[in-house]
Amino acid sequence: MPRAPEDRPRGLDLAGWLMYATALVWIALLLPADAFQPGSANYVLAIGALGIWRYSLRAIHFVRGMLFLHREYPRLRREVEALGDAAAPSHVYLMITSFRIDAQTTAEVYRATISEGMRCGWPCTVVASIVEMSDERIVLELWRRLAPPAHMRLKIVRIPGTGKRDGLAQGFRAISRDMPDPDAVVAVIDGDTLLEPGVVSRTAPFFRLMPGVGGLTTNEFCKVEGSHVMSEWHKLRFAQRHLNMCSMALTRRVLTLTGRMSLFRVGIVTDPCFIDDVQNDALDHWRLGRFKFLTGDDKSSWFSLMRLGWDTWYVPDAAISTVEHPPHRSFIKASRQLMFRWYGNSLRQNGRALALGPSRLGWFTYYVLLDQRILMWTGLLGLALAIAASIKFGSIMFLVSFALWVGMTRLLMSWLLLLSGHPIGPAFPLLLYYNQIVGSIVKIHVSFRLDQQSWTRQKTRLATSGDGFQTRFNWWSSHLLMFAAISVFAAVVLSMVEL
């Protein structure tokens, strides 16, 4: 499996782990002698009995991921290699969408993409879906310098700066005008994604082996243009992503075809229904009315494939690298903005995905999607119970014992991520719990405001309706419903403390 380059200072890592272990021992020494005695209230709270079912799903994901990585995927890799040249696509389209990305990153992305097209050796067309003339100059100059062979072509598609969805649709239509062979494949690449060597040749042949797969995605590593904490936070996310992708790929139900880099059969991306799904995806909400999706094109493409009857898959030994530009210098503000976008995309597609039913999704996928609705509340339950119990019984030991439980479980979860092939650091346990608490709060906030969307890099927002009454109704109803839901949650917490 591909591994990220080891760029972290080992000495600082060791010191960090020692400090973390020392903190856990210190917290344990603060607890009274009866804290670890079965039957005591502190003990029951400390072992997190109320959260056992949450960890059971994590355990299932881990086991499924390991089965895929070490059993299912190696078998399929051997089968596709046995096919040899018979599994090769007739043509490869490498389509990049670029908008408001710095010139250095743009040059690196196109250099890596053109080089990968030359490396794979198959007939290839690089499709540059761009807005600005400066990007076109960069692409043309790189094409001249790299001098690709005759089996490669360059197609530049100039698009208006109206958003990524329009750029994708314009690129798909440009590909359809080529009347490509049905065995061709299309790689959809974001403007800040660097293709690692061999990623195309390691992914495209699987379409011939698995005729039911309509789209697949790859492993992902990152380079973060920001603070150390922000860098560790992104690396944690990609390590978790890898294990979850492996778990869902076991039954060919990967839940997102990331816009950073995914491959599709050419017949899908040239299908007018698919193009319309990506460009004009919208949601009819019982309270918020109808609104278009601004972000989340990867969720739209996934839902379109599910609706059309295709499977989705993951190739763990093919990788890309992304250049991450945090939207703010402050880690707290940047992470909240990114969570708002990511979780909003997931929640907007959750209800209609569940409507497809377990017969289409499979029971495990259906349960995972259902759990997304519950997880935002259960993620806060343990901390809320510890706070409520400490106030009721006038003892801070409930919070101390809960802190020990959190510290130990997140340490174990962090070390399990080593099996993903992604590097881990001593900040991971704390960042795991930060994601749980802050992520739950953001999910609750956005679940009542699904119509609020914004890009973090492009600084664009969805235009609000001109109907003043609808705007005011959406604002007030969102606040009132969220207040009601939080009130019910607080009542449940207080009733559990009274038991």
pLDDT band (50, 70, 90) for residue 160: confident
Strand partners, 194: 321
In this predicted structure, the answer to whether residue 2 has a pLDDT above a threshold of 80 is no
How many residues are there in the chain?
Answer: 499
Beta strands across the sheet bearing 311-324:
152-158, 124-130, 92-98, 185-190, 261-265, 213-224, 311-324, 193-195
Can you say how many angstroms the Cα of residue 375 is from the centroid of all Cα atoms in its chain? 16
pTM for this predicted structure: 0.90
For position 39, what pLDDT does the model report?
Answer: 45
| Intervals of CATH 3.90.550.10 along the chain | 63-330
For position 263, what pLDDT does the model report?
Answer: 97
For the CA atoms of 412, 21, 331, 241, the dihedral, rounded to the nearest 10 degrees, stands at -20
For position 47, what pLDDT does the model report?
Answer: 46
pLDDT tens digits, residue range 64-117? Answer: 999 999 999 999 999 999 999 999 999 999 999 988 788 999 999 999 999 999
Q: From 215, 181, 244, 272, select the one nearest 371 (Cα to Cα).
A: 244
Can you spell out the DSSP letters for 40-56? SHHHHHHTTGGGHHHHH
pLDDT band (50, 70, 90) for residue 38: very low
pLDDT tens digits, residue range 320-363? Answer: 999 888 888 999 999 999 999 999 999 999 999 999 999 999 99
Over residues 274-303, the mean pLDDT reads 90
Q: Determine the CATH number of domain 63-330.
A: 3.90.550.10
For position 73, what pLDDT does the model report?
Answer: 97
Q: Half-sphere exposure of residue 232, counting CA atoms within 13 Å on the CB side?
A: 20
pLDDT tens digits, residue range 416-466? Answer: 888 877 888 899 999 999 999 999 999 999 999 998 887 665 555 555 555
In this predicted structure, the answer to whether residue 319 has a pLDDT above a threshold of 90 is yes
Over residues 1-26, the mean pLDDT reads 74
CA distance 377 to 382: 10
pLDDT tens digits, residue range 358-403? Answer: 999 999 999 999 999 988 998 898 888 888 888 887 888 888 888 9
CB atoms inside a 10 Å sphere around CB 131:
18
pLDDT tens digits, residue range 224-275? Answer: 988 989 999 999 999 999 999 999 999 999 999 987 999 999 999 999 999 9
